[in-house]
């Protein structure tokens, strides 16, 4: 089996390659540099548009978890869960971006499936293993009334967390990333096989996606223990994300045509995005009442929200495309900040629950209620800013340690002045000591 997803239409130039060109959506950053023979054109395909979407999605994850953490009382549950409902877009958007970047990063390359797997899995396993272990420890050290169990129980729980992706509420997505890597050779062949009929691929993904949504949303509960256990984990498998797998892969294969279409249909994309958001808000509001939010009203697989998940992602990609157009004209666009944030995005994703746990333990949540009584939006905004700032600070520290690649999936950044010291030492070794 060979992985040869060469896009039929080459991507438009997105500026010079940067460090951000070596990242893959939510997954740790592999070396995605194209082969030398692909030339300069192959090095400039995807950096900024995909990077901006990635940063926006990561920010959305922090927003969702922060809002849910600070606003859980009955008087604010309806509003906070509405925000969470709309931000389910992040998990499906991550899948699409992962496939998009994978397909583009493999253009012009030929490798066996075994070579592909060896290269990719080695980059994602260490962060997954280490953060699962970290949370297996810190959940008992930091979270109140959660003492360590017996040694045997702790290791049994750790083994279960590693298998099921339940070490912390965000780590399941690394399991999904591993599945994407596992099936990517097959996905790329399907996209190539139907290169002239992309809508067939997307339609197939939509059928599987809707079927999974309906299965999860409408299956009567409670279930027998066997089926209940399956339902606890089936949503972490690729069929639950089939439509977004096909959207990301097909969009990458027909990258130039997709972005051209987006630029020429701005009003339509904006209208679909806003209209689908209104549909989701209406469906949610009709299914809930103040202080009462049924479980099925804000699930990530409610079919009523599927239009928003698709159109919201298209709207986000349109915004990134127009931003990239502005950047390429030389206008001020914050491109350096986007590249800076992309370098730290995976680390923030991995570490921000730890920051939330520490803030809750140290009484910061209680302080927010004292500072902003009766103001849930203000509490949420302050918490979001605080979590982002502290997560970025932690990630910056980790980036400068020898374990950077294993924890935040990026090469180590030298300490200030470290390069100058190394250069001075190298010059000292090169110059003879006794030539005076």
At residue 112, the 3 state secondary structure works out as strand
Backbone phi and psi for residue 24, each to the nearest 5 degrees, phi listed first: -130, 100
Cβ contact 395:131 at 8 Å: no
Q: Identify the pLDDT of residue 122.
A: 79
Backbone phi and psi for residue 408, each to the nearest 5 degrees, phi listed first: -115, 10
H-helix or E-strand containing 188? helix 172-193
CA–CA dist 143, 361 (Å, integer): 6
Cβ contact 353:168 at 8 Å: yes
Which residues fall within 8 angstroms of residue 280, CB to CB, at 6 or more apart? 85, 86, 304, 305, 307, 308
Query: Residue 287's CB: how many other CB atoms inside 10 A?
Result: 15
CA–CA dist 312, 314 (Å, integer): 5
The dihedral formed by the CA atoms of 149, 150, 156 and 158, expressed in degrees to the nearest 10:
50
Q: Identify the pLDDT of residue 47.
A: 63
Cβ contact 9:257 at 8 Å: yes
At residue 144, the 3 state secondary structure works out as coil
Which residues fall within 8 angstroms of residue 240, CB to CB, at 6 or more apart? 209, 212, 213, 216, 234, 301
Residue-by-residue DSSP string for 280-297: HHHHHHHH-BTTB--GGG
pTM: 0.85
Query: Residue 290's CB: how many other CB atoms inside 10 A?
Result: 11
Report DSSP state, residue 2: E
> How would you write the pLDDT of the chain (436 residues) with one tens digit per residue?
455 443 443 333 333 333 333 444 555 544 444 443 434 333 444 468 999 999 999 999 999 999 999 987 778 899 999 999 999 999 999 999 999 999 988 877 788 888 889 888 878 999 999 999 999 999 999 999 999 999 999 999 999 999 999 999 999 999 999 999 999 999 999 999 998 999 999 999 999 999 999 999 999 988 899 999 999 999 999 999 999 999 999 999 999 999 999 999 999 999 999 999 999 999 999 999 988 899 889 999 999 999 999 999 999 999 999 999 999 888 888 889 999 999 999 999 999 999 999 999 999 999 999 999 989 999 999 999 999 999 999 999 999 999 999 999 898 988 876 677 766 666 666 665 555 4
């Amino acid at each position: 089996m060979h992985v040869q997803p060469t896009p039929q239409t080459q991507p438009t130039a997105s500026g010079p390659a940067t460090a951000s060109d070596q990242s893959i959506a939510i997954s740790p950053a592999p070396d995605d540099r194209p082969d030398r023979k692909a030339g300069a054109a192959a090095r400039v395909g995807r950096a900024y548009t995909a990077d901006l979407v990635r940063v926006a999605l990561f920010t959305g994850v922090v927003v969702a978890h922060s809002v849910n953490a600070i606003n859980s009382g009955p008087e604010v549950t309806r509003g906070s869960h509405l925000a969470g409902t709309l931000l389910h877009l992040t998990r499906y958007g991550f899948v699409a971006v992962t496939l998009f970047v994978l397909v583009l990063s493999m253009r012009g390359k030929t490798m066996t499936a075994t070579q592909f797997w060896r290269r990719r899995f080695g980059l994602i396993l260490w962060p997954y293993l280490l953060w699962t272990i970290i949370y297996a420890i810190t959940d008992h050290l930091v979270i109140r009334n959660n003492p360590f169990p017996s040694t045997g129980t702790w290791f049994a729980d750790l083994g279960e967390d590693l298998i099921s992706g339940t070490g912390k509420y965000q780590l399941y997505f690394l399991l999904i990333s591993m599945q994407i890597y596992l099936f990517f050779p097959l996905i790329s062949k399907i996209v190539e096989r139907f290169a002239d009929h992309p809508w067939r691929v997307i339609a197939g993904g939509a059928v599987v996606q809707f079927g999974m949504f309906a299965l999860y949303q409408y299956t009567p509960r409670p279930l027998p223990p066997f089926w209940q256990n399956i339902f606890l984990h089936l949503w972490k498998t690729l069929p639950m994300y089939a439509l977004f797998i096909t959207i990301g892969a097909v969009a990458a294969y027909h990258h130039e045509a997709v972005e051209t279409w987006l630029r020429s249909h701005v009003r339509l994309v904006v209208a679909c995005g806003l209209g689908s958001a209104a549909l989701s808000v209406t469906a949610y509001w009709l299914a809930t009442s103040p202080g009462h939010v049924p479980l099925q009203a804000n699930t990530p697989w409610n079919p009523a929200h599927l239009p928003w998940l698709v159109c919201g992602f298209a709207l986000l990609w349109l915004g990134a495309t127009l931003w990239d157009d502005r950047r390429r004209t030389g206008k001020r666009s914050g491109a350096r900040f986007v590249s800076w944030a992309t370098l730290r995005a995976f680390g923030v994703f991995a570490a921000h629950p730890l920051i939330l746990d520490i803030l809750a333990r140290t009484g910061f949540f209680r302080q927010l209620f004292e500072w902003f009584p009766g103001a849930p939006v203000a509490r949420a905004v302050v918490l979001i800013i605080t979590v982002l700032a502290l997560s970025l600070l932690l990630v910056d520290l980790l980036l400068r340690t020898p374990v950077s690649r294993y924890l935040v999936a990026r090469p180590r950044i030298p300490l200030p002045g470290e390069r100058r010291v190394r250069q001075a030492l190298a010059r000292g070794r090169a110059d003879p000591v006794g030539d005076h």
